[in-house]
Every structure is written in structure tokens, then in C-alpha cells.
Amino acid sequence: MPQRSRGKLAFVLLLLLLLQFYLRPRLWDSRAAPDFIMLGLLIYATRARPGAAAVAGFFTGLMMDSLGPSRFGAAALANTVVGYLAASGRSVFFADNLLVHAGFIWGGVWLRDLIVLLASGVSGRVLLWQLAVWSPLQGLTTAVVGVLILVMFRDWLAIRLEA
């Protein structure tokens, strides 16, 4: 990746980090609010090799573990797996279609939530409620924001998009 492209990607990732800590707490219920950090990880992972994406997922997961109520290490594990799979699967799943990008983002958020919940020892109704209601809602809001970010910064992120 050329130096100029790295700088533009870094700017977008920094913007997402700022949105996570400034805008997200001011939105509606945090269980359904977009996860800007996961969005940043998925954007990075689609441009990186699987090993680098896994390392990025691990560090973003550690950051989320230090801020969240789940068992320490659950988010690190989940983000590592999602980062690795996103980087590995980009050649299979990534077309130049906005709907495919949205589904990819939604799936990444839902899979991350599944792994975090299972690694945290959540079971029963709480697990079912989270996976059936809150995770899909958060995936949807993150996918909508992700599509907006991809459209706004498509030239910077070198993405060709078709409606």
C-alpha cells in the first residue's frame, strides 16, 4: 500500500475511533448503536493480510476488553477471529456491491457478539435475546454507517462501488 493510501486509511480509522468515543455514547441505546471500532477493524482487515488483521483484531479486542463488562479476553479472542476471517474471506465475499459490503459488516458484528457471549459464559435467555435482537440491530446500524463511510471515502479507500 502506498504511503499516501496509508495516511488516508489512518485518517478514516482515527475518525471512526473518535466517533466511537464521542458520538456513540450520545446515541440511542448503546446495545443497538453502531460499533465504529468494529467497522474500523473490518475496513482495515479487507486491506491487510490475515496475520496483520488478526493482530489488529487482538489489540482492538484488548482495548474493548478494558472498557467492557465481558470477561477479560473475550473481545480480544472475538476480534482476532473476526479480523482474520475478514482478511481471509475478502476475495470470496467482496464484490463491488454496497449490499455485499453491508452484509459483510453485519455478519462481522454478529459473529463478534456470538464469540464474546460464548467466551463470557452467557447462556440461556440472555444469549438468545442478545443474538436474536440486540446483535442484529447493532449489526444493522453498523452496516448502515459502514456503507455511508465507504461511499463518502470510496476514493480514499480505493473502493469501486455499485448500487
Which regions in the chain score pLDDT beneath 70? 1-4, 91, 93-96, 158-163
- pLDDT attached to residue 160: 60
Specify if 58 maps to a domain. Answer: yes
DSSP the chain: --HHHHHHHHHHHHHHHHHHHHTGGGSS-TTTS--HHHHHHHHHHTTS-HHHHHHHHHHHHHHHHHHSSSPTTHHHHHHHHHHHHHHHHHHHH--SBHHHHHHHHHHHHHHHHHHHHHHTT--HHHHHHIIIIIHHHHHHHHHHHHHHHHHHTTTTTT---B-
Specify if 61 maps to a domain. Answer: yes
Number of domains in the chain: 1
The range of the structural domain enclosing residue 72 comes to 3-21+29-152
Specify if 115 maps to a domain. Answer: yes
Specify if 104 maps to a domain. Answer: yes
What does pTM read for this prediction? 0.86
Specify if 159 maps to a domain. Answer: no
Specify if 116 maps to a domain. Answer: yes
- pLDDT attached to residue 161: 56
Specify if 130 maps to a domain. Answer: yes
Specify if 163 maps to a domain. Answer: no
